[in-house]
Amino acid sequence: MSLADKVLAVNNDLPIRTDKPVHSGKVRSVYWLTDADSKRLIRDKGYDVASDAPLAIMVISDRISAFDCIWHGEEGMNGVPGKGAALNAISNHWFKLFKEQGLADSHILDIPHPFVWIVQKAKPVMIEAICRQYITGSMWRAYEKGEREFCGIHIADALQKDQKLPELLITPSTKGILQGIPGVPAVDDVNITRQNIEDNFAAFNFSKVEDISEYEKLLKEGFDVISNELGKIEQIFVDTKFEFGYVIDKAGNEKLIYMDEVGTPDSSRIWDGAAYKEGKIVENSKEDFRQLLLNHFPDPDILLNKDRMAERSALARDNALPVAVLMKISETYIGIAEKVIGQKIKLSDNPKAEIVEILRKDYGLID
């Protein structure tokens, strides 16, 4: 079996019983279960959710996206070996710690396979909750051009690239395109201020204005838990994105939870601590891949300029990256995952066949 065969690139074609379209994102595909299957699993597995909560199977892939495009490699490599398993293992580890330390639950109810989550439907808060502990990336590029105001927060002069910030910054942006919010352009991923959120909390899907402070608290607490744990293995948690949503528990109470993924190399920047002390940046996250793409193509503006999206899509479609590039990213993902969870990531020869077998035998979701 070739390496390309072990990569799970297509994850929206599993024969999972569903009566709704499969939602396929950049990395994960979501299969909404029938009402009957949701009710049966809640009853049989004892999940702490309302008896009529809609459930879904979320299947991760090994696809890699950057600059809003999916990239592929030579020799039929349509993803990064081990990436999906690494991402899920890291997220599962942090979600478990959050729960143990009394922060909040997540949307995950069950983990049947390293590539699979069973999740409950959440009402998403329409905010990409971004936290920064260091000045780097897009924030540094804007700062270098003279910007000192970020999401309504004023930043001091004389900061250096990759320097630790005086305090943890919350710099939220919109999740998706939100229409009709005063002062917030109707484009995806636009920076917003706390005042924007307070003035229009319902438009961002908050149930009440007090929940803005709750999301900020959970964001900071989650960041601190991950940052402290990474510090123990000489890694620096630079910045990250969290997502939140609401669910109803078994007792009928609405609660704010973590959703999507947390503290992964896809949603965060993680630096090697020993290298940073020596004045070097060694990335243990997708940022390494982004930089590689910026250096690989002669005109990096195509990747950075949202007005050149058509050219960017063509770049991703028409350029197969060298296998060595994808293997380097694989080493980064598996390496940081094994450090975080403290054990080896076991790579499957045929993840799709394993998933089908488990969901058929143990969950009755495949005929």
CATH number of the domain encompassing residue 79: 3.30.200.20
Q: Is residue 252 part of a domain?
A: yes
Which amino acid does the sequence have at 152? G
- The contacts found for 151-156 with CB under 8 angstroms, 24 or more apart, are 151/191, 151/192, 151/193, 151/194, 152/193, 152/194, 152/195, 152/196
- DSSP result, 69-104: EEEEESTT--S-TTHHHHHHHHHHHHHHHHHHTTS-
Distances (CA, A) of 259 to 131, 233, 292: 16, 25, 29
Identify the bridge partners of residue 70 per DSSP, sorted by sequence position: 65
Q: Is residue 153 part of a domain?
A: yes
Task: State residue 5's pLDDT score.
Answer: 76
pLDDT score of 126 more than 70? yes
Structure tokens at 120: 């409950």
Residue 263 backbone zone (phi > 0: left; psi -120 to 50: alpha; other: beta):
left
Q: Are residues 210 and 251 in the same domain?
A: yes
User: Alpha carbon 5 to chain centroid distance?
Assistant: 25
Q: Are residues 182 and 53 in the same domain?
A: no
Model pLDDT for residues 229-247, shown as the tens digit of each residue: 999 999 999 999 999 999 9
Cα separation, 143 vs 138, in Å, equals: 9
Residue whose structure tokens are 């979701």 = 365
Q: Are residues 131 and 112 in the same domain?
A: no
Q: Are residues 198 and 90 in the same domain?
A: no
Q: Is residue 349 part of a domain?
A: yes
The domain boundary residue, chosen from 213, 245, 264: 264
Q: Is residue 58 part of a domain?
A: yes
| CATH number (domain holding residue 216) | 3.30.470.20
Percent of the chain scoring above 70 in pLDDT:
100
Model pLDDT for residues 132-160, shown as the tens digit of each residue: 999 998 899 999 999 999 999 999 999 99
pTM value is 0.94
pLDDT band at 1; cut points 50, 70, 90: low
186: containing domain: 123-264
Q: How many CA atoms lie within 13 A of 2 on its CB side?
A: 8
Give the H or E element holding residue 295: helix 287-296
Q: Is residue 305 part of a domain?
A: no
Q: Are residues 189 and 220 in the same domain?
A: yes
Cα torsion through 158, 163, 167, 168, rounded to 10: 130
Task: State residue 187's pLDDT score.
Answer: 86
Q: Are residues 158 and 216 in the same domain?
A: yes
pLDDT band at 333; cut points 50, 70, 90: very high
Model pLDDT for residues 87-98, shown as the tens digit of each residue: 999 999 999 999
Q: Are residues 77 and 107 in the same domain?
A: yes
Model pLDDT for residues 186-239, shown as the tens digit of each residue: 888 899 999 999 999 999 999 999 999 999 999 999 999 999 999 999 999 999
Looking at the chain, which runs of residues are DSSP E strands? 23-24, 28-32, 55-60, 64-66, 69-73, 108-113, 116-120, 123-124, 127-134, 149-150, 153-154, 164-170, 173-174, 235-248, 254-259, 268-272, 320-321
Q: Are residues 163 and 103 in the same domain?
A: no
Cα separation, 94 vs 337, in Å, equals: 11
Q: Is residue 280 part of a domain?
A: no
Model pLDDT for residues 104-124, shown as the tens digit of each residue: 999 999 999 999 999 999 999
Q: Is residue 306 part of a domain?
A: no
The domain boundary residue, chosen from 243, 264, 285: 264
pLDDT band at 6; cut points 50, 70, 90: confident
Cα separation, 134 vs 164, in Å, equals: 4
Q: Is residue 325 part of a domain?
A: no
Q: Are residues 31 and 164 in the same domain?
A: no
Q: Are residues 114 and 61 in the same domain?
A: yes
Q: Are residues 147 and 91 in the same domain?
A: no
The count of structural domains within the chain is 2
Q: Are residues 260 and 128 in the same domain?
A: yes
- Edge-first strand order for the sheet with 23-24 is 23-24, 28-32, 55-60, 116-120, 108-113
Sequence length of the chain is 367
The domain boundary residue, chosen from 245, 264, 283: 264
Q: Which residue has the higher pLDDT, 234 or 183?
A: 234
Which amino acid does the sequence have at 317? R
